[in-house]
Structure formats: C-alpha cells, structure tokens
Amino acid sequence: MSAARTPTTPRNAGLANESFARPMIALHWLIAIAIIAMLCIGFYMGSLPRGLPFKSTLTNFHKSLGITIFLLVLLRIWARSAYGRPPLPPMQTWQRAAASITQALLYVGMIGMPLSGYLGSSFNKFGTKFWGLPLPQWGWDDKAIRHIFFSIHEYLAWMLIALIALHFLGAMKHQFIDRDGLLRRMWP
C-alpha cells in the first residue's frame, strides 16, 4: 500500500534531486541579478533628459556592465559544456518543450542584448568604454543604423522581460504546485 501523502511530502520527491554544478549556480544568480538590474537601468536611462551629466555617467556604467554580462554569459556557456546539466525531471511533454524553448530564448536574449547594444553604440560618435577602456568601434556616426540596432535592443528587452516572467512563474509552479524540488537544483 502506498504511504498517505501529507501536505509537506513533495509529490515527486527524489525525481529532481540532482543539482546543477556550483559554478553554474553562481553564474545563474549573478547574471540573473545583473540582467534584471540592467533592464531597470536601461529604461530609467531613457527617461532622463538629454544633456544631463548623470545620464552619460549612467549610460557608460550600463555599457560596461552589459559587456561584463556578455563575458559572464560566454563563461556560462563554456561551463555548461564542461559541467553538463542535470536532466529535466519527468514532466509532461508540453512542459518539457516550454522549459527548453524558454531557456534557449533566455540565452538568445542574454547574448543578443549586449551585442545589439554594442553594435548600436558603434554607430555613435561616443563609442563604448569598458570600465574606462575604449573598445574598438566597428561603425561610424550614423543615426539610421544606430536606430536599427537600438530598436532590436528594445524589442529584445521586452522579449527578455516576458521570458523572465514565464521562467519565474514556471519555477514557482514547480516549487508550490508540483512540489518536485526543481528550485533546489539551482539553489546556492
């Protein structure tokens, strides 16, 4: 006879108890916090009046942190291939597909955001300084091309916001409805 389930008994206890490697966990949370901060900084920057010295200081900080995130994401992709990842616990096919597509698109956003920002800034006379160090500028001062890259930058920002919301809701569903310990796999 199967044991009675109490409210504190996880439904799929043991199915999701394999953890991500520690460096993957550290990089997940470092990048997650930095990206959420960057989304807030980006929109706040846009609301500041032109010519304000604080706006250019914040823009330079945004660019430097964005390039730093890009380097951390490259490190994370390398760590993912070096350490692998635990297989997804048993779940319905649509849930598995939704999780894989969301995670793949999160990587597209994490790479696409810094690239579009850097390319947009390359078609601006100000270029990009990485914590004070001027980076190579691939373009020239061109408003139309700059506009294309910054439109991509903005669309990707909205895509990322939607994906983060989905990803967060998915994690909360596993934690509080399925109670399958999925969050523990990514917990420090």
Q: List residues binding ligand HEM (CB under 6 A).
A: 28, 32, 35-36, 38-39, 42-43, 45-46, 59, 62-63, 66-67, 69, 80, 85, 88, 103, 106-107, 110, 113-114, 117-118, 121, 128, 150, 153-154, 157, 164, 167-168, 171, 182-183, 185-186
Q: Which is nearer to ligand HEM, 9 or 138 (CB)?
A: 138
In three-state form (DSSP H/G/I as H, E/B as E, the rest C), the secondary structure along 116-136 is HHHHHHHCCCCCCEECCEECC
Minimum CB separation of residue 21 from ligand HEM in Å reads 10
Q: Which is nearer to ligand HEM, 1 or 53 (CB)?
A: 53
Minimum CB separation of residue 185 from ligand HEM in Å reads 4
Q: Which is nearer to ligand HEM, 43 or 138 (CB)?
A: 43
Minimum CB separation of residue 2 from ligand HEM in Å reads 26
Find out whether 164 and 36 touch, Cβ atoms under 8 Å: yes
Q: Which is nearer to ligand HEM, 46 or 90 (CB)?
A: 46
Minimum CB separation of residue 1 from ligand HEM in Å reads 32
In three-state form (DSSP H/G/I as H, E/B as E, the rest C), the secondary structure along the chain is CCCCCCCCCCCCCCCCCCCCCHHHHHHHHHHHHHHHHHHHHHHHHHHCCCCCHHHHHHHHHHHHHHHHHHHHHHHHHHHHHHHCCCCCCCCCHHHHHHHHHHHHHHHHHHHHHHHHHHHHHHCCCCCCEECCEECCCCCCCCHHHHHHHHHHHHHHHHHHHHHHHHHHHHHHHHHHHHCCCCHHHHCC
In terms of residues, how long is the chain?
188
The residue number with the shortest CB distance to ligand HEM is: 42
Minimum CB separation of residue 55 from ligand HEM in Å reads 10
Q: Which is nearer to ligand HEM, 1 or 47 (CB)?
A: 47
Minimum CB separation of residue 9 from ligand HEM in Å reads 20
